[in-house]
Amino acid sequence: MLLRRNSSYQSIQPNRNIDPSGNKQRKSLRFFLLGLIVLIVGTVGWITVSGIIAFKNISAKNADDRSSFFRHNGEISPDQLLGEGDSRINILSLGIDAAAGLTDSIEIVSIDPINKKMALLSVPRDLYVYNSAENRKTKINEVYNSGVSACSKKEKTCDPKVDAGGALMKKTISDNLGIQVSYFARVDFSGVKKIVDTLGGIQIYVDKAIYDPKYPNSTNTGFDPFSIKAGLQNLSGETALKYSRSRQTTSDFDRTRRQQQVISAIRQKAFQLNFLANPKKITDLISTIGRNFKTDLQSGEIVTLSKMIAEIDSADTTTAILDNGPNAPLVSTTNNLGQYVLIPKISESDWSEIQEFTMTALPEPYLVKEAARVKIIDSSGKIDLADKLKKKLNSLGYTISRVDTTSTTQKNSTITYSTDKPYTLALLKRRFGLKPQELKTSSVGSEDIIFTIGSTFSSK
């Protein structure tokens, strides 16, 4: 399990897309599609005919999954939050191998609009999940194509304006990782090649040499061996695509890191070229986007997100990878078809540890902003109940300052609070179903909230 945080949390590892001579450049890790849209929105090119046509080509209807931030026009009151993580904007980024019909790259781009931060969570393609389109378990990289295929067989019941594959992938990720994924953006890998070539190539620092004798050829009928030397390299679109996708002699997780390098290098090159000032290159890029992308973000949302992303500093961007390392929540095994798959370490049906990892990587923005100190008082008379509650709340992003136990018990749970942490209070109230009479305002000393649990309390 790899979790990288900025200085607000814990030390972040340096971006490896640098010249090792010591001339370290601060790279910002930016979501591929949105990074390209940033180059287009705000320029006169976006309002040209080709720009309008391109947006129509990439735009899909959102199946009523819009984020709370956009539903409430960026002004979410405490009582409007549906749960921890609800104020984040989560976008599922999918890299598709159109020829093979598989999703080759799966990443969640999560924007914290309250604190102006962003996180990128990579999901392994071998994750073994329930595929509702086929009513069986499959690797997650099969789900997108399954959704498209299932909808093609139900033309009368499927909304043709909704991308069925994207909608099913969003639901599958949301159900298993325990977060609300509101949007998706799909890129055909052939588009990556064209975009890099439109930019005139990109520069990548390769940590170690790669030789992949089994890289598939363009028709998937044989092999086209791929190799690249270590060091600073200039990559064409073809080489960048192969560098991003090769995994035969390395791991899926190494490939994910290389894909992140390519994303960063594309953005850097675009700004180096002063891309916004070149109408011809903008037009070429718009054309490429129109043929190779699909998203259910709407035009107004894209404009807003583009401005948000442009304001986020690289130091406020974190990356996390869901994997099967020694302390990670996944473990590798084989399914009944003999395929290599990744399942939850606790048990194949218990996703709780994975959901805790996800919430740690993508904390609720208002909990981060308020940083409320919560004290737990155990008046339940039950052994270990307070400790279990503390662990649960910590995993959800709450700050538990201390736990005390009383010698007497009480039936109902209560919350005593100060008045300046309204979002934390509202989230606790919603999570545990506390009634108005169980809440009271009072001085709480060095804490902001005191949560007293009674004998009828049940941790959820």
- Domain 2-361 identical in fold to domain 371-453: no
The predicted pLDDT at position 44 comes to 34
3 state DSSP class of 376 = strand
| Six token digits for residue 333 | 């095994």
* Whole-Å CA distances, 28 to 120, 233, 310, 346, 371: 11, 19, 10, 35, 26
List, for the chain, all residue ranges whose pLDDT scores fall below the cut of 70.
1-57, 99-100, 155-156, 248-252, 275-284, 286, 289, 460
CA 315/CA 448 separation, integer angstroms: 29
In the chain, DSSP finds a helix count (H) and a strand count (E) of 14, 20
**Helix, strand, coil tally for the chain in percent (to 5):** 35, 25, 40
Q: How far apart are the C-alpha atoms of 209 and 429, rounded to whole Å?
A: 54
The token duo for 294 is 């699909």
Calculate ∠ Cα 87-92-97, nearest 5°: 175
| pLDDT given for residue 279 in this prediction | 63
Give the other-Cβ count within 10 Å of 72's Cβ.
14
Single out the residue of 154, 100, 95 nearest to residue 125, CA to CA. Answer: 95
| Alpha carbon separation from 74 to 71, 323, 418 (Å, rounded) | 8, 33, 25
SS3 call for 397: coil
Rounded to whole angstroms, the Cα distance separating 70 from 87 reads 9
CA dihedral sign, ordered 97, 98, 102, 107? positive
Separation of alpha carbons 51 and 302, rounded Å: 14
pLDDT at 259: 77
What CATH code would you report for 2-361? Answer: 3.40.630.190
Instruction: Look at the pTM and tell me if it is higher than 0.85.
Output: no
What class has domain 371-453? Answer: alpha beta
Q: How confident is the model at residue 273, as a pLDDT?
A: 74
Query: Which amino acid is it at 20?
Result: P
For residue 45, which amino acid is it? G
**Residue 63: is it exposed, middle or buried by C-beta count within 10 angstroms (0-12/13-18/19+)?**
middle
- Cβ atoms of 169 and 184 closer than 8 Å: yes
* Cβ density class 270-282: b for 16+ within 10 Å, e for less: beeeebbeeeebb
Taking the mean position of all CA atoms in its chain, how far away is CA 315?
17
Q: Which of 297, 304, 32, 278 is nearest to 163 (CA)?
A: 297
Task: Say which residues have a Cβ less than 8 Å from residue 8's Cβ, sequence separation at least 6.
Answer: 316
Q: Which residue, 22, 15, 28, 19, is CA-closest to 233?
A: 19
The CA-based diameter of the chain, rounded to the nearest angstrom, is 76
Name the one residue in this structure whose structure tokens are 């302390």: 327
Residue 150, amino acid: A
* Domain chopping of the chain, boundaries: 2-361, 371-453
